[in-house]
Chain A
Amino acid sequence: MDENDYITPAQVAVVIINAMLGAGILTLPRTTVNAAHTPDVWLSIMVGGFVIILFGMVLVRLGLRYRGQTFYQYVSRITGRWIGAFLSLVVIVYFMLVASFEVRALSEVTGLYLLEGTPSWAIIMPFLWVGGYLIRGGVSALARLCEVILPITGIIFFLTMFLSFGIFDIHNMRPVLGLGMTPVLKGIEPALLSFIGFETIIVLQAFMKKPEKAAKSVIAGILIPTAFYVTTVVMVIGALTVDGVVTKTWPTMDLIRSFELSGLIFERFESFLLVIWIMQIYSTFTITCYASALGIAQLTGRNLKSVITVLLPVIYILSMAPHSLKDLNKLGDMLGLTALCLFGLLPLLLLILSKWKAGKKDGTVS
């Protein structure tokens, strides 16, 4: 690993935030309301964020035991060579699929609302090339880009969301907990899926000079997206109602399309939302693509840059695999569930195994 390629704790938080915000933000109100059927889903998201912080903490603890090593490197030391290689492979494929999922979601939404008529390959290919170009610069280049786009995302996102206040009706958000906690619990599962992205810490932590600071970064990296998500569902449900949300493919887009402000320079704001959303898709794509490429590079001992060159066409083909939007949504749900098993449950096992092994080695339990 290059000695100069390192990131600060603040950058880790920023990268995690950018990895998390992605395709989910446009669909989150629908997926959560579909499960819960009440306006209380913002509570589900908060609970979900808390659960994800716990998951993240386990990953950080695991990373702390193997300083300067990525998941791909330390997993073999815990489980032995073959199982380790297999787990690494699963994680590599997972990141690859997430990258292709994001790319495909990008082409679907821009094809519908922004660039109707432009063939999807013409949208996707430049996107892949620019992404590939960025990650050739290593993790520090990636982190610096994330630092640039996060403030832009934040400002424009909250601005457009609050501009929709004119069609917001607090009655649509009430009653709070009218049907008790059960709907909230039902909403947690889809809410958890939107926090996918925290798992990038398994790669990022290895690039930190002081990996013990990763815990704070992870907490910040999860709390800030929680604020984004809660704002989104509150504004969307408040304007479109619980019953209206479930029918929309991209409810957050429809929220912004549901109002016009005359008198300002701009009357419509969906292009703003799409712009920041594309930036977020881009960052999620580059981060996951990097995580996948790094895994392959470390597993096979090849040069990262050549791995990226080979990986991009593979991601392109994978992104074209789902036949329809329905398939794509299915893929998204499947990926989410995989992630929860892979980065929620598995690390806990690994951590226990690692401690047990260490304990056996020097006779004391650490």
Chain B
Amino acid sequence: MGLYPNLKRAFVMLWLLLLTGCWSSNEIEDLSVYVGIALDKGEVTAEEQQLREQGSAEKNIDKVTATLQIISSKSSSSSDQSTKTDQKPFINTAGTGDSVFEIFREFASRRDQPVIGHHMKIVVISGGLARANRLDDMLDFFYRDNDIRPSCFVVVSRGEARKTLETKVPGGIPAFRLVGMLDNRNRTLEVIPSVSLSKLQGYLQSGTSFILQNVLSAQGEIKFSGAAVIKGETKKLIGYLSEEELKGLVWLTGSGKGGLVKAYDHNDSGRSMAYEMKSMKSTIKSRADGKKLSFDVNIESEGRLIELWNHASIFNRPATKELEAIFEQKVRRLIDQAIKKMQQQYRVDVAGFGSHVRIEHPRLWQSVKKDWDSVFSQSLIHYKVKLKITEFGSLID
């Protein structure tokens, strides 16, 4: 021990103060965790209207109504036995304004527990709002904020976005349901590869057009149906793809993971049949002839015959080749619809053909990328579809 043993000890004890815990910690029970956000056209809710009449809120333009889905901490704690069993595990609360961040911070003056975005999973944007406002404007706050992760997904709702965050099922959290539905790509072609904030930013920055999953809602039920088309140049919504057109697009790009093709016999319209797709592959080749571009698309798929109606016995079915031809024709019809919609109506490339030109003809791409959408709508797309029925399920034939 040195000169001042006690002084040394006291000094060492001081270091214990550093072990007292986190500097600016917040107990999770004191926070409102929101897991989903719906952005709608500015429409002041009834409560908000009343609050305003009593003199709250500064003047602002009601551009956006943001509805937050907050996990209610009360329902998750089982200590309170008196809570009714049908009480929802979430609270939806809305605010209106022309700055998303301002709306968020307004909640601090309306709720005892401040809202935090660490667990936000999904943003639903209403179609009407996306038509009127640029996506990068509406989402700017989400990109800058350090709580909200870029892994959060973005979808569009053709109707009111806040309706998609409602449910009739007690105990379910709609935002989680939406995220879970995005995972069902191995079952249906109607779910497209999910777009996260970070993927979306790539699209927005590069100025390519793209599609976002469209979600419909009716009386607390929701359904993914078709897609919203966002034009890269304006970054606004310009229209929708129907379910059939979307399926065509998925076939064209070969991005499906699982799903089916339903078709009818040419002679017998009552005879429905279904093909369960097991694999889908599309090879796109771009050909440049001066500034004129064309694409050769080769689509191949293998799968099983999973359902066939109206045949007398299982040994009495049409030849495999015949069935394949029927399914192929159906797929071609879907693709035709999709191409027509892209090239003629919306005049945008949402199938990623531009990316093939960028990779295969990088120098040409430099000159066409500025007005790629219009170049694309004038280019020719040749495609071939080859479906192969490799098995018939548990039935022999």
Given A126-B18, A258-B196, CB of A175 within 8 Å of CB of B360: yes
Interface stretch (choices A78-86, A242-250, A308-316, A321-329): A242-250
Q: Is B113 an interface residue (CB 8 A)?
A: no
Q: Is B76 an interface residue (CB 8 A)?
A: no
Bound complex: CA of A242 vs CA of B369, how far in Å?
A: 15
Q: In the bound complex, do residue A243 and residue B146 qualify as a contact, i.e. CB atoms below 8 Å apart?
A: no
Bound complex: CA of A171 vs CA of B352, how far in Å?
A: 11
Bound complex: CA of A130 vs CA of B151, how far in Å?
A: 35
By a CB distance below 8 angstroms, the chain B residues around A259 are 151, 196
Q: Nearest chain B CB to A123's CB is how many angstroms away?
A: 9
Given A115-B24, A258-B149, A260-B151, CB of A244 within 8 Å of CB of B198: yes
Q: Nearest chain B CB to A238's CB is how many angstroms away?
A: 11
Bound complex: CA of A270 vs CA of B198, how far in Å?
A: 15
B181-229 interface (Cβ within 8 A of A): 196-199, 201-202, 205-206
Contact of A113 (CB < 8 Å), options: B146, B198, B201, B366: B146
B345-385 CB contact bits vs A (8 Å, 1 = yes)?
A: 00000000001001110110110000000000000000000
Contact of A117 (CB < 8 Å), options: B24, B197, B202: B24
Q: What's the tally of chain A residues with a CB closer than 8 Å to chain B?
A: 30
Q: Is B150 an interface residue (CB 8 A)?
A: yes
Q: Nearest chain A CB to B75's CB is how many angstroms away?
A: 22
Given A116-B146, A167-B199, A268-B149, CB of A243 within 8 Å of CB of B366: no
Q: In the bound complex, do residue A179 and residue B355 qualify as a contact, i.e. CB atoms below 8 Å apart?
A: no
Bound complex: CA of A178 vs CA of B24, how far in Å?
A: 49
A15-36 CB contact bits vs B (8 Å, 1 = yes)?
A: 0000000000000000000000
Q: Is A257 an interface residue (CB 8 A)?
A: yes
> What size tier do the contact residues of chain B reach?
20 to 34
Residue of B nearest to A38 (CB): B362
Residue of B nearest to A242 (CB): B206
Contact of A247 (CB < 8 Å), options: B201, B355, B362, B365: B201
Q: In the bound complex, do residue A257 and residue B202 qualify as a contact, i.e. CB atoms below 8 Å apart?
A: no
Instruction: List 17 A-B residue pairs with CB atoms under 8 Å apart, sorted by A's residue number.
Output: A115-B22, A117-B23, A118-B22, A167-B196, A178-B362, A179-B366, A240-B201, A240-B202, A244-B198, A244-B206, A254-B150, A257-B150, A257-B151, A258-B196, A258-B197, A260-B149, A260-B151
Q: Nearest chain B CB to A174's CB is how many angstroms away?
A: 4
Q: Nearest chain B CB to A291's CB is how many angstroms away?
A: 28
Q: Is A280 an interface residue (CB 8 A)?
A: no
A222-266 CB contact bits vs B (8 Å, 1 = yes)?
A: 000000000000000001111110110000001001111000000
By a CB distance below 8 angstroms, the chain B residues around A243 are 202, 205-206
Bound complex: CA of A122 vs CA of B201, how far in Å?
A: 35
Q: Is A112 an interface residue (CB 8 A)?
A: yes
